[in-house]
Structure formats: structure tokens, C-alpha cells
Structure 1
């Protein structure tokens, strides 16, 4: 990754210290010893990268419960010159915290990031059925705000929050799904590609040429006919008219894999707008599985066969 900052590189993340984004950035070896810049939203993080204030930004892109993070997907579709260079997984767990001396019976208002709030609804409805909600910019900000204001009685926060703030834990493991995981990506301006590992992912954004019947099927066939699996496909409104959508897609494999490269060539011929976001190692390191008929050798042999026909070479015996 090229450094645009001074001697000590800077990485941006949704802060403050202790957020899930902060936990994700802790997984990046290159970020150890670097300057970490806390920002308030995805747009600010990406602007840091585009402007050169930071060499990379850690942003949430998908949650196993809520699905894709729309703010991130829309930003990646509209901010040019960005590449995803890595992905990181963070288990999502929540606690309910309050100022020391507060009990669960005292809680009338809860401060929480909207996504965290949505993932703790079952607990809140059962234990605090008449509570009010005050949205917060981050999971840590909601807790820190308890020490600065009395607007909220309690806050939903990450389990490590008491390491950073003097707060009392009223309830643990309050998330609706104990297996929830958030996927983060590290975004940079580098145009270089991480090396192919065999356990890779490729992210793209594509649009349909028009709204004629079957267009979505035609787009999907670019991958199906080449044995490329999609681990994510979500639609987001383009915004220029009703019924116009772009598709955020994650593919199993690296652009250096022949089947992925061939699928992207087919997609580029079909779609008026294709944005390549990057090929990078999978966070779970699980090798990509594919059937033998879509191996690299099959694609290169087919090209050699066609090249021989076009050049007039005698057929191989």
C-alpha cells in the first residue's frame, strides 16, 4: 500500500476508541504503530483517503444480521479511485451500561447507534418495554455520552466499554443473535492488487443496461456460465430515477483467476457501468471451491485453441 502521509502513516476509522471498527483496525498488521484518526462517519473516512490524510480507512460493509451497510455501499459507488485491499471479521456482542448507581429499573431512555439498537430489540422489548431511544453516532459514543449528559439513562455498547469509561454493566449479551458478525473492509487508493491466495474475494458494483425483461438474469449468467459463485448481491438505488438500481456483488475468487477475469470481461460487455472495487484475501481464509471444468487451465487451453484456428496453425494431434 503506498503511503501518502508523512513518515508515520495514518488510518481512519469510525471512532472513538473501542468501537467495533477500532477492533477491526487492530487486526491490520500495517496499522500497528501508525496514527489512528477517529472520524464520525463513512464519508469522512473515505474523504481522508481521497485527500491523502490517511493511507487507509476501515469501514463496515456487511453485517450477518442486517445485511449490507447501505451508507458504505453507496459511498463506494460514488467516490472514485478507491480499492478494497482487505477484509476483517468482528464478532458482535453488546452490553447495556449506565452511570454507576443506576439500576435496570431506573432506565427510561436508552442511547444507541441505530444498527446496534435494531440488533438488541428483543432484550429491550422484554426488559424495557416503555423505553425511549436516542440515536448515537457510534456504539462507544452512546456510552461516553452518559458521562457528559443526563439525556439518556443507559446505553448499548461493546463489551470492552468499561476498559475505557467508568460505567456499570446492567446486562450482558443483549444482542438478539449470539452469532452476529460484522464484516469490515480496509479501503485505500492503491491500484496494486494483493497477491492471489486461493482464498480470495472480488468486489464489484454493476448496473443493468436497461429495464428490459430478463436483464438481471443476463447479468447473473455472466457468473453462472463461468462457475463463479456470488457470496453477496444487493441492490441499491442509483438515485436518478425510480426503478433504477445498481448491484453490489462479491465474487468468490481473485481477478487473477481465469474464470473470474473472464466473467468480468463478459460483464463489462453487458453492463454500461462496472466498478471494480478490488480482489483481496478472505478474512476466514476458506479456500474457494469450484468444479474442475472452470479451472485456469481450461480457460487458457480454450484461448490457445482459438488462437491456433485464427493463425492457421495445424490442429494438435
Structure 2
């Protein structure tokens, strides 16, 4: 009896020691680098300051001034910030987690500035609603640098029976750059092949922190067969010791069925009593809703002032 008790006690002790060993061996971020919670706060302030730089006209000098203002606020040297970013670039899964939370914070900030829900994410919550469906199946957030193999992300979607003639495609995403030196430059390409084997291809440069959209519409007589594309961050002429980072977030690829009668009906033929219908949406009354008080405008500069970041654009 005693021997069984000792065996159970020994097994319990071994299990406890194994748990402690596993927890203690869990990889953590070395202390010489900025920890995730502080890095998230710093990147949040960085992107707020870049919003002002872009609004007033982007220059390398302005970018440098705003970056140094954020460093001073957190009492972090530029060298430590740059080394920390290099660490996170090498461990993109950690940076990905930071940007998932950061995207939510930036979206909330835009909302407090008076952005409407439709402006924030016109198709962001669409899964399958009537004739409008978000068909993107990849990660909603991508992190790219100019150096292979993380300089590009490809995607491919094969059409199924849910696709119809005349479908339109709308690709949308947020772009955010963090650059030590050099130009901001990336490319998005999307190619749509139709059942008659014709292909429509579009390219678009990404060069700023903004909401980007790309639309492909080949008319109402063709059915989509295949969709391919890629995001590519260009290297430029800077040395390999210079870090450049592009964060693509809130990615959506929306397929819209366009009913022929809706697409061709003249605007003046809609009766005043008829409801206005959006693609894939519910009928909307043509009567104007009662006016609501306009919320006070809150600019990125106001947000920076609240967080103690000097405004270097003045």
C-alpha cells in the first residue's frame, strides 16, 4: 500500500517538474529589446504621428522628426528602437500579434475622430450577405519586408458555383510603413481569368499609410474562373542593414453580384415611393432620417497632444 502511494507521489512530482520545465523553457523576448506591450504603444504613437506627416505632405525630414518625438516620449534611444524592430522582423509571428491589437486601436482612434462605420470597414464584417460576399481566405494581416522570402505574399482563389456572370471584385486593405531610410514602395497585382480564358490584370503601387482599394469589373457577360495575385514589397537601392517594413491589415476581397436590371435602370425611373436597395443589402427608405448632431472633430494632432507627443509639423 505504501509502495503504491510512493509511486503516485513520484508520478505527481515528475508531472509538476515537467510543467515547470516547459513553462520555464517557453521562449521570451530578450530584455535588451523593447517588450511587446511597450512596442505596441510606441508603434501606435508612431502611426498617429505619421498620419499628421502624410496629411501635411510627407518628407523624410518630417518622418525623422516625428519618429524622434516618439522615442523621446518613451525615453528609448533610436538605436534600441531600430534593434528591437529588427528583432521583431526576424520573429514576424510576434509582430503579427502586436499588429492585430494595433489595428483595433487605430480603428477605434479613427472612430473617435468621427469616421463612420462604413468608412472604417465598408465590407469588413461581410461573411455572406445576399449578393455580396467576402471571399478572402488568407490572413487578414500580412507583414512584408524587402528581403526574400518575406518580401511577397501570393494568393489564389478558384471560382465555384456561387460565382455568376457579371461579378465585380473589390480588394481593400490598410497599408502602414515603418522605414529607416529610403522610398516607400510596394505593388499589389490581381489577375482575374474568365471562362473564355481571357484575363484582366491590374497593378497598383502602395506608397503611403492609407486605405487602398482595387476593383475589377469585366462587364455582365463573363463568369470568373480563377483569381490570382500577390503583394510585393520592393527593395530599392538601400543597403541590407536598413530595415523597411510594410504592414497590410484588414484585408478583404469582396465579390458582388450585380443584377442586370439594377445596373441598367436609369436613376430617374426610380419612383419616390420605392425603397432604395443596396447590393446585397436590405431595402432602405428613401425618406431622409432625422438629422443627428455632428460629433466634434478630433484630429490626429489632438490625439498626439493627449498622448504627450510633440507636434513637429509646426
* Higher-Rg member (1/2): 2
Write 1 or 2 for the structure with the bigger share of strand. 1
Q: TM-score, normalised by structure 1?
A: 0.22
Q: Which of 1 and 2 has higher RCO (CA within 8 Å, sep 6+)? A: 2
